[in-house]
Structure 1
Amino acid sequence: MPHLNGVTVHPDCRHFRGDIPCRPNKEYGYQCQDCPVYAPTQQRILIIKLGAIGDVIRTTPLLRRLRQEYPNARITWLTLTPAILPQSGGWIDEVLKLELTSVLHLQQREFDLLFNLDKDKEACALLGSIRAHQKFGYQLHPQYGVAWPVGELANHKYLTGVFDELSQQNQKPYVQEIFELCGYEFQHEEYVFDTHDDKGYDWSQLPQGRPRIGLNTGCGDRWTTRLWSDEKWITLINQLQQAGYAPVLLGGEAEAERNQRLHAATGAAYLGTFPLPQFINLMHQMDGIVTQVTMAMHISIALRKPTILMNNIFNPYEFDLYGRGQIVQPDKQCVCFYRGSCKLGPTSCMEDLSAEKVFEAVRVSVPLA
């Protein structure tokens, strides 16, 4: 038991900070000697998942398995988007943003388990430069400087990411692939996510008394082959309104102009754009979500909302809706797998996905009372 000037100090405690007072000391005046909430760390685990917000969100089910296997572990997560990870509930002890200060101190530490779930070269380099007893995921190939699997567990997920043909043949959801890469059997563990209900946002302007259907009308600018035309959205909105639903337009700055047009054309509710925590809580007010494959899809699944997923260019097996909602696709087969522009011309096959088909999926997934 370490002592400094005769004072007991527990650097192994999950609450201990080392630079500032821990929360039990700040809130209750506890010190390490005879502390009633002393929580000694039994395992040290590092997760490296930097990538897009949606990919970070859909990796959080892994936390449930890790907490089940290692309830007294100190879990550290390195990412580009710390704000999207759960800040309460004891799921993660330390959330770090990828920057020089984080890298410097991680390279001076030692972990029992290290999971690198990104093929970014900086993430792979970190796996090689941080000490850990067991490493999973991706590393840098020592001769060629490209991402490379760490052991056989990572082979499947690695190969589906580098060969389109294997990706198209894959029938495993992303989360299952991630679990298997880490050596676990996926048992449909749910996402770990914060609804931000504690923020007290005022949503009195939302429609009342009818099931709210959130319509996320954008998809980012990387794969614009996912976009649906204004005409299709207007038709769907009219059908929802006539059936007794309350459509609510959702999106960020990139969708603001389109959503204003759709609001003007249909009267569908549109409250504007919001910071990410407030946008998440707005989505939490919905009874169902219609979205393309984009960040809002991951948020919807994480919030356990019935999700009507409009998909064309991705393998539908990649997405696990946890039995809530449906995947709807164009009637004709898409030939532009993971492409940002259509090979057949300026009009994407998404225009062959009818509003009626999407409406029927809403009707089945979110029944009217």
Structure 2
Amino acid sequence: MPELNGITVHPDCRHFRGDVPCRPNKEHGYQCADCPVYAPVRQRILIIKLGAIGDVIRTTPLLRRLRQEYPNAFITWLTHTPAILPAGEVDEILKLELSAVLHLQARQFDLLFNLDKDKEACALLGSIKADQKFGYQLRPTDGVAWPVNELANHKFLTGVFDQLSLQNTKPYVQEIFELCDYDFRGEEYLFDNHQDKGYAWDALPFGKHVGLNTGCGDRWTTRLWSDEKWIALISQLQQAGYTPVLLGGTAEDERNRRLHDATGAAYLGTFPLEQFINLMHQMDLIVTQVTMAMHISIALRKPTVLINNIFNPYEFDLYGRGQIVQPDRQCVCFYRGSCKLGTSCMEDLPADKVMAAVEASFPSNL
């Protein structure tokens, strides 16, 4: 073991910092020579999954398998959104910026998983040293993403050919596991519900809470359900004895205020991400479209009624909690931001159909 000036040092310990005292030293005065909590790292693993937030969330099941396969591993995760990751489950969370890149390029890893086809992510896979690499790399002659090995072929091809994407019957999480050379065994998300943060929800009415996430982002607006449909659903929920709660961010604030004024459905406003997550945690069931809130709902293990039209429904695994509902008219706008027919098929999704899914999915013990 290394010694400096006759003093034993354990740089391979998961507690060792190198630039400042480790926590065991700071809190208990332990030194490496006789430290009772010495924990040598056996493998060093890097995950590159930059964003968006929902994609980062739905990649966290991989952590469960890695901890099972490598209980003594030190796991590093590089991302655009460090705050969304469960800090207690990842040893080192780095934000994509120059200082982190320089740091990673000077290190050696046993396993490197790049799960993004962003050019910067693919370039990093090529410039960071690792014994085994999985996922996507940069094809130097063309500057485009390319599979590192045949394990990545399926996920790569469904991302570049709509025909193959439409034929796919594998959920995203299964595809990610297979890309990393694992079989998917139903591993759940790893996620923080922020219940320990002391958030108070005194303004939340009592009842069987059905959260209604009314937005879908601004990239694929063909997913939007009209105010009239939401009002019809809210009315049915209220008549059946449920307590609808309007959810969303700043982009949904105006719509949610309109819906509140029209129906009296509870609307508590907009909140920072952690607080919004905790508000969703108060719900008994969540109705949402394919957006960040959907991933949060699944991660919180909430029964989820997923409204979908433009995506392959096989992509989404609700873990047996909830249902996917789609318009009565077949959608012809796969992954399109505007409707080819001029009128979105979402107008052919009746509130009755969503209501039936809510009643079928609502927890029987509430």
TM range (shorter): over 0.9
Matched, 1:98 2:93: no
> What are the residue-to-residue correspondences of 1:284-303 with 2, within 5 Å?
284-303=281-300
> Partner of 2:327: helix, strand, or coil?
coil
Counterpart residue number, 1:110: 108
Deviation at 1:321, TM superposition (A): 0.2
Deviation at 1:367, TM superposition (A): 4.8
| Selected match of 1:255 from 228, 252, 257 | 252
Deviations 1:188-245 (A, max 9, x none): 100000011110100111111x210100000000000000001101110111011011
| Selected match of 1:238 from 208, 232, 235 | 235
Using the alignment, how far apart are the partners of 1:45 and 1:119 within structure 2?
19
> Partner of 1:33: helix, strand, or coil?
helix
More deviation, 99-108/5-14:
5-14
Counterpart residue number, 1:47: 47
Counterpart residue number, 1:128: 126
Deviations 1:109-166 (A, max 9, x none): 0000000000000000000000000000000112111000011000000000000000
Counterpart residue number, 1:202: 200
Using the alignment, how far apart are the partners of 2:358 and 2:25 within structure 1?
50
Contact 2:284-2:363 at 8 Å conserved across structures: no
Counterpart residue number, 1:353: 349
Counterpart residue number, 1:334: 331
- Amino acid corresponding to residue 356 of structure 2 in structure 1: E
Using the alignment, how far apart are the partners of 1:26 and 1:200 within structure 2?
28
Using the alignment, how far apart are the partners of 1:28 and 1:333 within structure 2?
64
TM-score, normalised with respect to structure 1: 0.98
| Selected match of 1:182 from 180, 183, 188 | 180
- Aligned-residue RMSD, C-alpha: 0.9
> Partner of 1:118: helix, strand, or coil?
coil
> Partner of 1:290: helix, strand, or coil?
strand
Where structure 1 has 5 or more consecutive residues not aligned to the other structure, the ranges are: none
Using the alignment, how far apart are the partners of 2:71 and 2:120 within structure 1?
30
Counterpart residue number, 2:159: 161
Where structure 2 has 5 or more consecutive residues not aligned to the other structure, the ranges are: none
Using the alignment, how far apart are the partners of 1:23 and 1:245 within structure 2?
48
- Amino acid corresponding to residue 92 of structure 1 in structure 2: V
Deviation at 1:37, TM superposition (A): 1.3
Counterpart residue number, 2:3: 3
Using the alignment, how far apart are the partners of 1:15 and 1:254 within structure 2?
42
- Amino acid corresponding to residue 49 of structure 1 in structure 2: K
Matched, 1:269 2:269: no
Counterpart residue number, 1:282: 279
| Selected match of 2:362 from 350, 366, 369 | 366
Counterpart residue number, 1:79: 79
Using the alignment, how far apart are the partners of 1:27 and 1:268 within structure 2?
50
> Partner of 2:265: helix, strand, or coil?
coil
Using the alignment, how far apart are the partners of 2:225 and 2:22 within structure 1?
50
Contact 2:49-2:116 at 8 Å conserved across structures: yes
Using the alignment, how far apart are the partners of 2:227 and 2:29 within structure 1?
59
Counterpart residue number, 1:305: 302
Counterpart residue number, 2:208: 211
Deviation at 1:15, TM superposition (A): 1.3
Contact 2:303-2:363 at 8 Å conserved across structures: no
> Partner of 1:247: helix, strand, or coil?
strand
Deviation at 1:4, TM superposition (A): 2.1
Counterpart residue number, 1:25: 25
Deviation at 1:21, TM superposition (A): 2.1
Aligned positions, number: 365
Using the alignment, how far apart are the partners of 1:81 and 1:7 within structure 2?
39
Deviations 1:238-289 (A, max 9, x none): 1101101101000000000001111111111111111101000000000000
Using the alignment, how far apart are the partners of 2:347 and 2:32 within structure 1?
64
Deviation at 1:22, TM superposition (A): 1.9
Using the alignment, how far apart are the partners of 1:68 and 1:28 within structure 2?
30
- Amino acid corresponding to residue 182 of structure 2 in structure 1: Y
Using the alignment, how far apart are the partners of 2:115 and 2:135 within structure 1?
5
